[in-house]
Every structure is written in C-alpha cells, then in structure tokens.
Chain A
Amino acid sequence: MYAQMVKTGVDHIQSKEEMSPEERAFQDRVDQDIKIEPKEWMPEAYRKTLIRQISQHAHSEIIGMQPEGNWITRAPTLERKAILLAKVQDEAGHGLYLYCAAETLGVSRDDLMEQLNSGKAKYSSIFNYPTLTWADIGAIGWLVDGAAIMNQVPLQRCSYGPYSRAMIRICKEESFHQRQGYDIMMKLAKGSSEQKAMAQDALNRWWWPSLMMFGPSDAESVHSAQSMRWKIKINSNDELRQKFVDQTVPQAEYLGLTVPDPDLKWNAERGHYEFGEINWDEFYQVIAGNGPCNRDRLRTRVKAYEEGRWVREAADAYAAKKAARAQAKAA
C-alpha cells in the first residue's frame, strides 16, 4: 500500500486491565467510532504510528508523481497530456493534504521534507518501477490507483479526524485516476496488434508489483493487530489483496488481456480467485533501496527541491519586504 509495514512500537496488544485510565478512555472512544482530534489526549505510540503511516503515505504521493511525470512531454495527444497533467497535479495535492494531517500530530513540514530527501523515510515500493511505455501510464492508473483505492476507501472511516478527512478528499479524486487509466488500456487493447502487445506488456510488468503493494501477509503481525485496534488500519493486507484480484481479473478479461499468473483460477466454492505465490524477495529488495529506480527517484526529488530553493527564497524576501513596508506605513 502507500504505507507499507508500519511499525507501532508495541510488542503485544494490551488488555483493558493493563491500560491506564487514560488509555482505556481513549480505546473506548475509538471502539465507539468517536473520532480523535488533534489536541485530545492520545497514547504516544498511536501518535507516532500515525505520523509514520501518514507521512509515508504523503511521501508516496510526492514520489508517485515521478513515474507518471515521465510521460507528460510524450503523451500521445494534447488531451491525454492535459489529463495526465491534471492527474499528477492531484497527486501533489494528495501529498499536501496528508502532510497537513501529519503536522496536526506535532511533526513539522521541514522535518518531513528532511526525512524524505535524506532517504530516511520510506514510500511505497511500487514507485520504484520504471514507466517504459505509454501503456504503463494506463496500467498505473488502472492497477496502482485501483489498489490504492482498495485501501483508502476504508481509511475514510479511520479513527483520526484529520487523516479521515484527508482520505475523504483523496477518494473523491482518486476515482478519476483509475478510470482514466482503464480508458488508456481500453484504447490500446482495441487498437493495432502492436498497441495490444504494449498493453499486455504493461500488465505483465505491473501486475505482481501491484499485488506486492498490499504488503506481506500480516495475519500474525502484532503491529497490524494494534493498528486495527486503533482503527488506523481497517482490513488485513491479504483481505485487501484478495479483493483487488477479484475486482481486477474480470477487468483484464474485458480488455482481452491475460493476467501473468499461470496459477490464477476461479474458486467457485470460496467465491474468490486463487492466485500464485508472490516473490517477496523482490519486494524486500525494493524496500531496502535496491529496486530498479530507487536511487533515481531520490535524486530527482532532491534536485527538484534544490532547484526550487531560489523560488522559496524569493517568496520569503518578497513577503518580508511587504511586511516591512506595511509596518513602516503604520508607524
């Protein structure tokens, strides 16, 4: 997901008896679906975990602009270019909503930027894969945004008010992203044999990384159990992955494309698709910084930040000048 394997710092789930009166009151409110707001008391581990989760999510939105930005200058038509620009701009907006939500927990924007630019912060594994052809832009919208929606829709109900509100805004805009991606895939799938081959190639390369986005099985994870108790995680990774596969396979069939998994088959008894083994070694390699594009993504990010420095400084100088003038006038 956009936030993967978020640690909570706990080693076991506390029973209500183990909790302090404050913790118990907090958990009771969460259990009753009462939203937690910024200045209210919250366990330190809840606050820290949320900062980790929300900032990782925000960083993913920011880095996520790069694979798609790669095709803005080469979009096949002016209309496609305008659409892609709007989509990439949305990703920037989503990053900003999320940074604001994280800041309500007492972390500064400068700290968050520093964590991203120094490579200390994590972002989703998916954005370390390259966009080699135009069909990849279709596959990202359809599969990557599709997977993100699976996770973000339930998070609209999460316990932390500002995060929940950011998710509501994001989900409203995300549906456009997925549909424009599928629209690109439909066009290619109905096109020439070369175009169809391009669409198939994109599906081949993006399918497995999309399934990895949900993260390894967390059925046994104490962190996931704690996050679910706090209602900052609503479904298990396996649950969401299954839902994604069930939803996406018929969409691939409609396109006349083949999902690159020989083990994929419908299980009528379970009412779900069965799918093959995921290569988790690859996932851990990408997370550890050894994916195809990790270094390039960070370098591009830092370069953009450094090259924007003079703009930020000019804006600062202008604001200071105006403030000084207003003060002189008042005196």
Chain B
Amino acid sequence: MTDKKEWPLWEVFIRSQHGLAHRHVGSLHAPDAEMAIMNARDVYTRRNEGVSIWVVKASDIAASSPSEKGPLFDPANSKVYRHPTFYEIPEELGHM
C-alpha cells in the first residue's frame, strides 16, 4: 500500500529576519532540493516566520557523537580566563 522508496529527509533552516543567522527549525521529506524548499515554505513559514530558507540532506550532515561529548568539550572547561568576568576592573573606571 505504501511506496517502497522513501523520499530523502531534509533538514530545514530558516532565517527569521534580515541580520539574524539561519536556525534549524525541523525536517521534512522531499524528492529534491527544489521541492524541499517549497515544502519547507508550507510547513515552516505559514506565518511569516522567515525571509530565507536553507535545506540540506540529513544524510549529508556530519555530527559530533553524544558519547564523546565529554572529551570533545572538556578543553573549554578549564579556561575561565576566556570570559570577561574573569577580570576584575576597578569600579571607578566605569563600564569596560
């Protein structure tokens, strides 16, 4: 009863306003990129949510592995000096 060949899955990214970055909003199935963009318009921008759409095949996305989250992000943990709050600036100087 159902089709044997499933359309590929596309991840959809929408830029909501000029000046902001594209943001992942969800995914959908479509036979090609052109149809994916048209479907994304209907599924994800029915209320003016976007001014630009990107679609990318889900199978083309390389992702970091959740189980390696520790070793991958650990190096940043010990570097508090990368944050401005690490430094104490005398109050009389005002905002810096």
Instruction: Please give the residue numbers on chain A whose beta carbons come within 8 Å of chain B beta carbons, in ascending order.
Output: 37, 39-41, 86, 89-90, 93, 96-97, 100, 103, 108-110, 113-114, 117-118, 165-166, 169, 173, 302, 305, 309, 312, 315-316, 318-319, 322-323
A118 touches B6 (CB 8 A): no
B29 touches A109 (CB 8 A): yes
Docked CA distance A169–B45 (Å): 11
Can you list 16 A-B contacts with CB-CB less than 8 angstroms, sorted by A residue number? A39-B63, A40-B66, A41-B67, A89-B42, A89-B46, A93-B43, A97-B26, A103-B27, A109-B29, A117-B1, A165-B26, A166-B26, A302-B1, A305-B1, A305-B2, A319-B35
A39 touches B66 (CB 8 A): yes
Q: Which of A90, A110, A318 contacts B6 (CB 8 A)?
A: A110
Known: A39-B65, A40-B66, A90-B46. A108 touches B31 (CB 8 A): no
Q: Which residues of A contact B27 (CB under 8 A)?
A: 100, 103
B1 touches A100 (CB 8 A): no
B43 touches A312 (CB 8 A): no
Q: Which of A97, A109, A169, A319 contacts B32 (CB 8 A)?
A: A319
Q: How far is the CB of B8 from chain A (nearest CB, A)?
A: 9
Within 8 A of A (CB), among B1-16: 1-7, 9
Known: A39-B66, A108-B6, A315-B35. A114 touches B46 (CB 8 A): no
A113 touches B2 (CB 8 A): yes
A100 touches B28 (CB 8 A): yes
A37 touches B66 (CB 8 A): yes
Docked CA distance A100–B32 (Å): 17
B31 touches A319 (CB 8 A): yes
B46 touches A316 (CB 8 A): no
Within 8 A of A (CB), among B32-71: 32, 35, 42-43, 46-47, 63, 65-67
Q: How far is the CB of B35 from chain A (nearest CB, A)?
A: 6
Q: Which of A103, A118, A315, A319 contacts B1 (CB 8 A)?
A: A118
Known: A37-B66, A40-B66, A89-B46. A117 touches B2 (CB 8 A): yes
Q: How far is the CB of A86 from chain B (nearest CB, A)?
A: 8
Q: Which residues of B contact A114 (CB under 8 A)?
A: 1-2
Interface contacts beyond A39-B63, A97-B43, A108-B6: sample of 4 additional A-B pairs, CB < 8 Å, sorted by A: A93-B46, A110-B6, A315-B35, A316-B7
